[in-house]
C-alpha cells in the first residue's frame, strides 16, 4: 500500500542535520515529514539515561557535549522567525575546559583555558614565556583565516571548479595544505605541552594533530573567539528545541519508523519504505533528505547501479575516524572538576598511533589512554538527582576495523577509564561512587548504523575534504540529498548546521522555493560577545 504525501519533503533521521534541514525547509514554505528510526529524536545528539537501585534517574548527552559557534544555530532559528534563546538556555563556560597534559617521567602540566586571551597568554607564558606571546599572534592569524574560510564553509563544493573563486584565492595562501596541524603549530609554539593544548581539538574530528590538515587550527581559535557553551539539559536540549520549532511550523515527526529503503523509479526517488510497525508501507515523496552516517546511508539506500564507482568495497576502503568508548556514570556526591576536563596521554603520539594505525585495522588499546570527562551537574540541576552528579566519560579508541573483541574488552575498558579518572584527573573514589551507568563501545556505535563505528564519520584528510566528501545533492540520482557530518564541511554541531544550510538552499533552489535565510539578506558572523558576560553566564 502506498501512503501518499504529495509535495512533502521526507527527512530520514532526526539528528542535528535532519532537524536543522527540516527547520530551514519548513521556514522556506515547504511541507516536511521527518522519519526517525528510534523512539526519540536526536540521533547521536540523543540522550542516555541510567537509573540506580533507589529509582533515581541520571541523564546524559549521548554524543556532543561541546557546543561551539552558537551564532550558526541562531541563524537557523532567525530564518524561521524565532529566537534560539526562547527554546534553549545557554551558559558560557569559564574555564572553557581544564587540560591535563601528561609528560613522561614528570608531573603533568595543567592549564585552565579561558576566553580572556590576555589572561590565556599569561597562563601559557607560565609554561613557556615565548609561547605566551605567540598565542596572541596565533589567535590574530586564525581570526583572519576563519573570516576568509567561512564563505567556503557555507557553500557547496561539488568539484574543483567551485574552488576557483575569489574567496578561495584570498584564503589559499593561509591554508598551507602541505602542513599538518602539529607542523604548523611548531612554527608558533616551542613547548610540547602548549602545542598539544592548541591541537587536541583535532580529536573533535576523530583525527590526530600529526595527520589533520593545518587549516583546522581554526578549531581552537573558534573556542577562544566565540566561547564554549552548555545548553541547560545538555546538547540534546537543543534538539528538543529544534523539534518544537519544527512542529510549530507544521513539520510532522514519525518516530519508531526505521526507513528500510528509498524507493526509486529509474534514477528518481519517489518515496521511502518502512518495513514493519505502525507506519509500515511505502510513503510517496518526491525528495528525500538523508541525515545518517554518509557511507552507511549510501550502501543502505542507493542501489549499486546508481552509485557508479562508489561500490560497497570502495566506500569501506575510505579513511575513517576513530571510535569511542563511552561510560555514562551516575555518581554519588560531587566530582570536583570543571565542566570539561581532558587528560592528554603522556605518550600521546603512541596513543594516537594505537588508535589509528592502518586506518584502524592495526589498532589496539593503549596502556595510558587519553580520557575526557564532562561534569555538567554544578551548573545544570536537570541531569542528576540532588547531591549527585552525571559524569560523561569518553575514551578515544580504534574503530571496529581493529581486531578487538569489544564485548570481551568491555570490562577492561571500564576499569581503565575509572583508573585514569582517579589517577590522572584526581577524582577520589570515582569507581566506588558509581550508582548507575550505561556503556557504549565501538561495536555498539557500529550497530547503530555507523560505518566501522567511526563516531566522527569519514576522516578529514585532504583526500576526503571539500568536493571529495559525499555530495549534498547525490550525483547519479534525482531527489536524494545528504546532510550531516559525512558531507562538506564536516563533523561537529556547528558545521553540521552549516551542512544543513547548504543542503536546504540547494533543495529550495531546485524546487523554486524562496530559501528563508536569503529573504533576511546576507548573514554575517556574529561579533565576539563581550568577555564581561563570561562570569555572568556561570552564576
Query: Cα angle at 252 between 247 and 256, to 5 degrees?
Result: 115
Q: Give 93's contacts (C-beta < 8 A, 6+ positions apart).
A: 227, 228, 229, 230, 338, 339, 340, 537, 538
Report the length, in residues, of the chain: 539
What integer pLDDT is reported at residue 527 of this predicted model? 41
Give tens-digit pLDDT for 70-119. Answer: 999 999 999 999 999 999 999 999 999 999 999 998 999 999 999 999 99
Measuring CA to CA, how many Å separate 350 from each of 158, 321, 366, 368? 37, 17, 8, 9
Listed residue (156, 226, 5, 77) closest to 505, CA to CA: 156
Phi, psi angles (nearest 5°) of residue 102: -70, 145
Contact 294, 496 (CB under 8 A): no
Question: Running DSSP on this structure, what letter comes out for residue 247?
Answer: H
Q: Which residues contact 94 (CB under 8 A, 6 or more apart)?
A: 114, 115, 116, 534, 535, 537, 538
pTM, two decimal places: 0.92
How far apart are alpha carbons 474 and 491 in whole angstroms? 19
Report the distance separating Cα 273 and Cα 280, nearest Å: 7
What's the whole-number average pLDDT of the chain? Answer: 90
Question: Three-state DSSP class for 330?
Answer: strand
Res. 3 pLDDT band, cuts 50 70 90: very low
d(CA 288, CA 12): 7
Instruction: Please state the domain extents for the chain.
Output: 2-90+232-317+470-519, 116-226, 321-456
459 — pLDDT class (breaks 50, 70, 90)? confident
Asked if residue 525 has pLDDT above 70, the reply is: no
pLDDT tens digits for 206-223? Answer: 788 998 888 889 999 999
- CATH 3.30.365.10 correct for 2-90+232-317+470-519: no
Q: Is 313 helix (H, G, I), strand (E, B) or coil?
A: helix
pLDDT higher than 90, residue 15: yes
What are the DSSP calls for 5-46, one per residue?
-TTEEEEE--SHHHHHHHHHHHHTT-EEEEE-SSSSS-GGG-
Mean pLDDT of the region 352-371: 87
Sorted by sequence, the CB contacts under 8 Å of residue 260 that are 6+ apart come out as: 273, 274, 275
Amino acid at each position: 500500500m502506498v501512503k501518499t504525501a504529495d509535495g512533502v519533503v521526507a527527512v530520514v533521521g532526526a539528528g542535528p542535520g535532519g532537524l536543522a534541514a527540516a527547520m530551514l525547509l519548513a521556514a522556506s514554505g515547504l511541507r516536511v515529514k521527518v522519519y526517525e528510526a528510534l523512539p526519540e529524536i536526536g540521533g547521536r545528539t540523543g540522550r542516555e539515561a541510567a537509573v540506580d537501585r533507589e529509582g533515581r534517574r541520571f541523564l546524559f548527552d549521548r554524543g556532543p557535549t561541546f557546543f561551539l559557534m552558537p551564532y550558526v544555530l541562531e541563524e537557523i532559528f532567525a530564518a524561521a522567525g524565532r529566537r534560539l534563546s526562547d527554546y534553549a538556555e545557554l551558559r558560557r563556560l569559564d574555564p572553557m575546559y581544564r587540560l591535563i597534559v601528561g609528560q613522561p617521567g614528570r608531573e603533568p602540566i595543567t592549564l585552565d583555558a579561558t576566553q580572556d586571551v590576555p589572561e590565556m597568554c599569561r597562563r601559557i607564558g607560565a609554561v613557556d614565556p615565548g609561547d605566551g606571546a605567540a598565542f596572541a599572534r596565533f589567535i590574530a592569524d586564525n581570526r583572519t583565516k576563519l573570516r576568509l574560510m567561512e564563505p567556503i564553509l557555507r557553500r557547496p563544493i561539488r568539484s574543483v571548479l567551485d574552488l576557483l573563486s575569489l574567496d578561495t584565492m584570498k584564503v589559499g595562501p593561509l591554508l598551507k595544505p602541505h602542513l599538518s596541524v602539529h607542523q604548523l603549530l611548531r612554527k608558533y609554539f616551542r613547548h610540547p605541552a602548549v602545542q598539544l593544548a592548541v591541537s587536541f581539538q583535532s580529536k573533535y574530528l576523530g583525527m590526530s594533530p600529526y595527520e589533520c590538515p593545518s587549516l583546522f587550527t581554526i578549531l581552537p581559535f573558534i573556542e577562544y573567539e566565540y566561547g564554549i557553551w552548555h545548553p541547560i539539559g545538555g546538547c540534546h536540549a537543543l534538539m528538543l528545541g529544534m523539534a518544537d520549532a519544527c512542529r510549530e511550523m507544521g513539520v510532522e515527526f514519525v518516530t519508531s519508523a526505521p526507513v528500510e529503503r528509498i524507493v526509486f523509479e529509474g534514477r528518481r526517488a519517489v518515496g521511502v519504505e518502512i518495513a514493519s510497525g505502525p507506519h509500515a508501507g511505502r510513503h510517496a515523496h518526491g525528495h528525500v533528505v538523508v541525515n545518517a552516517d554518509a557511507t552507511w546511508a549510501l550502501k543502505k539506500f542507493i542501489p549499486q547501479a546508481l552509485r557508479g564507482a562508489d561500490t560497497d568495497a570502495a566506500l569501506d576502503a575510505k579513511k575513517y575516524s576513530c571510535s569511542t568508548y563511552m561510560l555514562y556514570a551516575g555518581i554519588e556526591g560531587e566530582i570536583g572538576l570543571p565542566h570539561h576536563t581532558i587528560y592528554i596521554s603522556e605518550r600521546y603520539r603512541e596513543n594516537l598511533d594505537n588508535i589509528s594505525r592502518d586506518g584502524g585495522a592495526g589498532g589496539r588499546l593503549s596502556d595510558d589512554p587519553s580520557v575526557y570527562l564532562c561534569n555538567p551537574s554544578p551548573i545544570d540541576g536537570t541531569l542528576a538527582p540532588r547531591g549527585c552528579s552525571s559524569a560523561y566519560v569518553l575514551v578515544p579508541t580504534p574503530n571496529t576495523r581493529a581486531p578487538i573483541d569489544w564485548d570481551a574488552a568491555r570490562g577492561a575498558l571500564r576499569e581503565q577509564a575509572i583508573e585514569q579518572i582517579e589517577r590522572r584527573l584526581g577524582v577520589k573514589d570515582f569507581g566506588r561512587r558509581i550508582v548507575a551507568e550505561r556503556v557504549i563501545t565501538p561495536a555498539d556505535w557500529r550497530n547503530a548504523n555507523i560505518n566501522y563505528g567511526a563516531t566522527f564519520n569519514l576522516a578529514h584528510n585532504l583526500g576526503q575534504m571539500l568536493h571529495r566528501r559525499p555530495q549534498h545533492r547525490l550525483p547519479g540520482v534525482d531527489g536524494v540529498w545528504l546532510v550531516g557530518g559525512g558531507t562538506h564541511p564536516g563533523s561537529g554541531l556547528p558545521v553540521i548546521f552549516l551542512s544543513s544550510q547548504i543542503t536546504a538552499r540547494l533543495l529550495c533552489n531546485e524546487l523554486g522555493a524562496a530559501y528563508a535565510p536569503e529573504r533576511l539578506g546576507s548573514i554575517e558572523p556574529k561579533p565576539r560577545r563581550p568577555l564581561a558576560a563570561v562570569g555572568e553566564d556561570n552564576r
